[in-house]
Amino acid sequence: MLSAIVVITLLAILFGAILSVAVARLPVAGDLRIDRIDALLPQTQCGQCGHAGCRPYAEAIAHDQTDINLCSPGGDATIAGLANLLGMEIKPLDASLERVEVRTVAVIDEHACIGCTLCIQACPVDAILGANKQMHTVISEECTGCDLCIPPCPVDCIDKVPVSQDIRKVRLPLPNNNVPTIKANNQRTHTAQTCIRCGRCAQVCPSQLLPQQLYWHARAGRLDKAQDDNLFDCIECGYCNTICPSHIPLVDYYRHAKSEILKQRRDRQRADHARKRTTFRKFRLDRAEQERSERHAAKRAALRQQTQDKPTAPVSVSLTRVEQKHKGTSVN
């Protein structure tokens, strides 16, 4: 019996060592670590981190060539996500960077625009529409607010403005415990106390949820666990508020958690869309460069062919005539 345990232990150690060596030495197709880091970045492609875009910044982080606190548009949330992914300590945003409080988009003064196309060339997501010597305009839904189009403008006709908020997308702040929760006929004016874990909220929940667990997750910001506990199945009926002996505004916490989750989803969708546009722009530019190179190569080949087809070039004919003339003069 003891010998079998020893053999199994030795085999486990051996296989663990083999796997460690394989992970360290064998190449991984499309570095998954870089992809996971890149997925956490806001994809504004602004370059404030000192790199050409979010993907190069992710590659630098994956190779321990830079710090995780250089993303100004992502802010504290991105830094916390990167630290959690990489097992590092959370750091404050680098002091040399300006904190982005409100998301902005670029706006072009169309009357002052001269159609130089410099802003179009600078935009990393092709969010500016226009042509040479024609009026330009910004597609606000595609603009990431990177501000890279502002410096190249020779007439200073580009400005940045805050993104207009849709009332349905406004984030709900955490409530003050002194403010009553109103839902249908439910109105509470008591000061909230500490949860005593009585479990009454779970007994009256018509959706058969665990309101106490949802409250702790929402309060601690563990939104992923709140979703695992079916937060969006909550109909916000207010029964848990009514029965709670500690007078905790549970529904307000659930609303706030839902709004935060929805905001994260919108930010993730916006980042994924911006990443796709950036990737396609790079593909478009590479394809245009390849086609230009092919056209130049074809022209050079055609010129060489024309030169080979002619028995003598015009310059050679002229030189031959001059030589013959000199020879005739010397004979005379």
DSSP alpha helix (H) spans, 172-222: 200-204, 211-220
DSSP H or E run through 270: helix 250-309
State pLDDT tens for residues 263-285: 889 988 989 999 999 999 999 99
Indicate the burial class of 145 (C-beta count within 10 angstroms; 0-12, 13-18, 19 or more): buried
Q: What is the largest CA-CA distance in the chain?
A: 130
Structure tokens at 35: 């992809």
Task: Point out the domain boundary residue: 232, 262, 292.
Answer: 262
**Total domains present in the chain:** 3
Q: Cα(14)–Cα(247) distance, rounded to whole angstroms?
A: 57
**Do 68 and 110 have their domain in common?**
no
Cβ-count burial 26-49 (b if 16+ within 10 Å, e if not): eeeeeeeebeebbbbbbbbbbbbb
5 in any annotated domain: no
State pLDDT tens for residues 131-148: 998 999 999 889 999 999
Task: Point out the domain boundary residue: 262, 292, 308.
Answer: 262
| Phi-psi region at 14: left, alpha or beta (left = phi > 0; alpha = psi -120 to 50) | alpha
Q: Are 199 and 212 in contact (CB under 8 A)?
A: yes
**Do 93 and 118 have their domain in common?**
no
Which range has the worst mean pLDDT, 183-187, 251-255, 276-280, 317-321?
A: 183-187
Structure tokens at 135: 């009026």
Q: Cα(230)–Cα(257) distance, rounded to whole angstroms?
A: 12
Angle (CA) 168 171 172, round 5°: 105
Structure tokens at 263: 């905001």
**Do 106 and 95 have their domain in common?**
no
Distances (CA, A) of 27 to 21, 35, 124, 260: 11, 15, 30, 38
CA nearest to 164, candidates 139, 185, 140: 140
| Phi-psi region at 87: left, alpha or beta (left = phi > 0; alpha = psi -120 to 50) | left
Structure tokens at 197: 């874990």
State pLDDT tens for residues 167-218: 334 444 444 444 444 444 444 556 778 888 898 999 999 989 999 999 999 9
238 in any annotated domain: yes
pLDDT of residue 194: 86
Task: Point out the domain boundary residue: 243, 262, 281.
Answer: 262
Domain at 139, CATH number: 3.30.70.20
248 in any annotated domain: yes
**Do 195 and 248 have their domain in common?**
yes
DSSP H or E run through 160: strand 158-162
Place of tokens 């190249």: 152
pLDDT of residue 175: 46
**Do 112 and 91 have their domain in common?**
no
Containing domain of residue 219, as a range?
182-262
pLDDT of residue 214: 92
For the entire predicted model, the pTM comes to: 0.64
